[in-house]
Chain A
Amino acid sequence: MARLDPKLLRAAVPALSLALLLVAIFIIQPRTMSYFGLNLMLNLALPIAFATMAQLFILTVNDLDLSIGGFVSMVACIAATWLNETPLLGIAALIASIAAYAALGALIHLRNLPSIVVTLGMSFVWLGCAVLLLPSPGGAAPDWLTAIVKFKMPFVPLAIVASAVLGLVVHFGLMRSAGGVVLRASGGNPQAVAKAGWSLLKLKVTMYALAGTFGVLSGLILVGTTTSADANIALRYTLLSIAGVILGGGEFTGGRVSPIGAVLGALTLALVGSLLSFLRISPEWQIGAQGLMLIVVLALRSLVNRFEERAQ
């Protein structure tokens, strides 16, 4: 009999926990087992999945991004103001913010700064820009954006299709392509990559630019769903995105990430809240229960880790 492959097990944990959660939700609240139900439960998970992917790019190069929540908030504010009123200015601002992200990557690499400090500082800058743009909550999402996000796909909700496409595209780009291998290796073994003649600077800038791009997408989807913005709208995404990557099987170091796992992790985090409210747990306990479920999933992970070590 073949032994369980630890690698397979590691990849299976995020999928299994999501499946378990879904089954529990379907049993408790059968109404969710419909197009309408899945769409409602998952449409706010989609921007979290994109923000998680942005975080994954940063984690791949051994850095940590504490500014993604503030960045997504700022993008949401740009989308609800400039992008709606003067589209050209809005598009220019979004491109400029991606460029700023890339420049951050260069700064962190060239000056050899700790990414946590730089991004923590930047989180205040992004939040400041968001407040300047939208001092009091309001604005309106452009109609075309709302139309895209609220588009009703036949048979399968858009949020599921988009999550699947997101996971698969990044999986093939980062895990299967030649370029992806180099990008990941720049986090796992930078010396070897440098010796092989690759520019670490270029690689880092690429990853930060990718993170910025996915952050922009996350903000656009978010504002399309909520239809208007608030400077504090996505501050929670910083921690959610980190938790999503880790739940999905990623590690803090060594370019060890899993894009499909990260998408599953983000969906799991979003659905935990749904399950708890369907269980009608009293408000005082809801807060603690959410944390408890995360700890359970992470405990499963560390079990798998130990299993892996023993297999080696």
Chain B
Amino acid sequence: MTYRAILAASAALSFCLASAAASAQTADKSIALSNNYAGNSWRQAMINSWEEVTGKAVEDGIVGSADAFTTAENSATEQAAQLQNMILQGYDAIVLNSASPTALNGAVKEACDAGITVVSFDGVVTEPCAWRIAVDFKKMGSDQIEYLAERYPDGGKLLEIRGLPGTSVDEEIHAGIVEGVKAHPQFEVVREVQGDWTQTVAQKSVASVLASLPEVVGVVTQGGDGYGAAQAFKAAGREVPTIIMGNRHDELTWWKEQKDANGYETFSQSIAPGVSTLAFWVAQQILDGKDVPKDLVVPTLRIDQDGLAEGLEMTPEGGVTNQEYTQDQAAELISSAQ
């Protein structure tokens, strides 16, 4: 037995004690995830990330429990009932991806009145007592024009692929693009087509306008439509312009192929499904007594030319690039918002 071993052991022990003290505030707290829909790959990845990260957090004794609940149908009334059940189960915090920005307000208020911390993300709620981790879709639009302005200082004509009509996400990304074009008047959107965030739809609608489409320098998109657009250009025998990608596996794979073959350059952006874990850590920080502003903005997960190989590694086949957040990242986001 050497002194060194004892020293090491006591150092390890004191380290354990220190970390236990840091999380003692929330060690017996329980957090629930209320989710309204689980029917696509993004939501599946979101739930898997939640289970992975919170499972580890429970094991490490940072929180007492973190259960995930999904409603059978994407319906606001059913989710309101689910929230009320969670209140009765005595959760300390509820992390919420909401079916409606307003229809859950009554239930959210009841939860707040019962002393429960409510953190909404992705599908956020307007009730003032809840925290919101929102996506800045407008910035996702204007960032694309910013990027193109750097690539093509002289500007040029653009093709815009829209998302699902009538949704707020489509409206906001579009508004961001319009704003970007206003700030960089050397660009002009010559044609808008509907892509529904789906490769096949985007390919069909881009192909149908290609015959009458003048030379464009770039294609601004909403994600999930870049690969389809590229296929349409290729099939028509035209040179493929700079298409902004949306972190889908097929988009990144195609980009990698082109990059290796002819040095094709673009960038790719989307929201990582792992944003559920960011919401989890924010809830944990609030329970820990930290002062957190009510409105936070999720950073988009952006892949640039240099980060392509790494980004592709983070993307499961057929899925979206994912990133799970850590406690430190959440703390950083909170302090940067203050």
The residue from B72, B81, B101, B126 contacting A270, defined by CB atoms under 8 A apart? B81
B81 contacts A283, C-beta separation under 8 Å = no
Stretch at the interface among A81-89, A90-98, A226-234: A226-234
B84 contacts partner chain A, Cβ-Cβ < 8 Å: yes
Residue of A whose beta carbon sits closest to that of B38: A283
Check A136/B168 contact, CB under 8 A, given A233-B100, A286-B70: yes
Chain B 111-128 interface mask (CB, 8 Å, partner A; 1/0) = 000000000000000100
A133 contacts partner chain B, Cβ-Cβ < 8 Å: no
Interface members, chain A 277-302 (any B CB < 8 Å) = 277-278, 280, 282-284, 286-287, 290
A283 contacts B73, C-beta separation under 8 Å = no
| B-chain residues with CB within 8 Å of residue A234 when the two chains form the complex | 77
B329 contacts partner chain A, Cβ-Cβ < 8 Å: no
Cα distance A274–B86 when bound, in Å? 9
Check A273/B85 contact, CB under 8 A, given A137-B102, A229-B102: yes
| B-chain residues with CB within 8 Å of residue A199 when the two chains form the complex | none
Cα distance A92–B190 when bound, in Å? 47
A7 contacts partner chain B, Cβ-Cβ < 8 Å: no
Residue of B whose beta carbon sits closest to that of A31: B88
The residue from B47, B86, B103 contacting A226, defined by CB atoms under 8 A apart? B103
| A-chain residues with CB within 8 Å of residue B82 when the two chains form the complex | 273, 277
Interface centre among B73, B77, B104 (most CB of A within 10 A): B77
Cα distance A273–B78 when bound, in Å? 8
Chain B 152-180 interface mask (CB, 8 Å, partner A; 1/0) = 00000000000000001000000000000
Chain B 275-314 interface mask (CB, 8 Å, partner A; 1/0) = 0000000000000000000000000000000000000000
Check A31/B102 contact, CB under 8 A, given A40-B84, A236-B73, A283-B35: no
Which range holds the interface residue count of chain A?
A: 35 or more
A280 contacts B67, C-beta separation under 8 Å = yes
A274 contacts B101, C-beta separation under 8 Å = no
| A-chain residues with CB within 8 Å of residue B90 when the two chains form the complex | 31
Residue of B whose beta carbon sits closest to that of A287: B72
Check A229/B103 contact, CB under 8 A, given A40-B110, A236-B77, A283-B38: yes
A44 contacts B80, C-beta separation under 8 Å = yes
Interface members, chain B 31-89 (any A CB < 8 Å) = 35, 38, 47, 67-70, 72-73, 75-78, 80-82, 84-89
A29 contacts B88, C-beta separation under 8 Å = yes
Check A44/B77 contact, CB under 8 A, given A273-B82, A277-B69, A280-B67: yes
A235 contacts partner chain B, Cβ-Cβ < 8 Å: yes
A274 contacts B85, C-beta separation under 8 Å = yes
B327 contacts partner chain A, Cβ-Cβ < 8 Å: no
Chain B 83-109 interface mask (CB, 8 Å, partner A; 1/0) = 011111110000000001111111101
Check A41/B84 contact, CB under 8 A, given A226-B76, A286-B69: yes
Interface centre among B38, B81, B87, B103 (most CB of A within 10 A): B103
A232 contacts B85, C-beta separation under 8 Å = no
| B-chain residues with CB within 8 Å of residue A227 when the two chains form the complex | 105-106, 109
A278 contacts B89, C-beta separation under 8 Å = yes
Interface members, chain A 28-55 (any B CB < 8 Å) = 29, 31-32, 37, 40-41, 43-44, 47
B70 contacts A235, C-beta separation under 8 Å = no
Cα distance A280–B33 when bound, in Å? 12
Cα distance A234–B109 when bound, in Å? 20
The residue from B68, B75, B100, B101 contacting A236, defined by CB atoms under 8 A apart? B75
Chain B 229-271 interface mask (CB, 8 Å, partner A; 1/0) = 0000000000000000000000000000000000000000000
| B-chain residues with CB within 8 Å of residue A228 when the two chains form the complex | 102-103, 105-106
Check A29/B89 contact, CB under 8 A, given A40-B84, A44-B84: yes
| A-chain residues with CB within 8 Å of residue B47 when the two chains form the complex | 283
Q: How far is the CB of B60 from chain A (nearest CB, A)?
A: 21
A225 contacts partner chain B, Cβ-Cβ < 8 Å: yes
| A-chain residues with CB within 8 Å of residue B72 when the two chains form the complex | 273, 286-287, 290
Cα distance A230–B126 when bound, in Å? 13
Residue numbers of A with Cβ under 8 A of B are 29, 31-32, 37, 40-41, 43-44, 47, 136-139, 222, 225-230, 232-237, 270, 273-274, 277-278, 280, 282-284, 286-287, 290
- Sorted nearest first, the 9 A-B pairs with minimum C-beta distance are A283-B70, A228-B102, A230-B103, A287-B72, A226-B106, A230-B100, A137-B102, A227-B106, A40-B84
Other contacts beyond A277-B82, A287-B70: 12, CB < 8 A = A29-B88, A40-B85, A41-B85, A137-B101, A226-B103, A227-B109, A229-B102, A270-B81, A274-B88, A283-B47, A283-B69, A283-B70
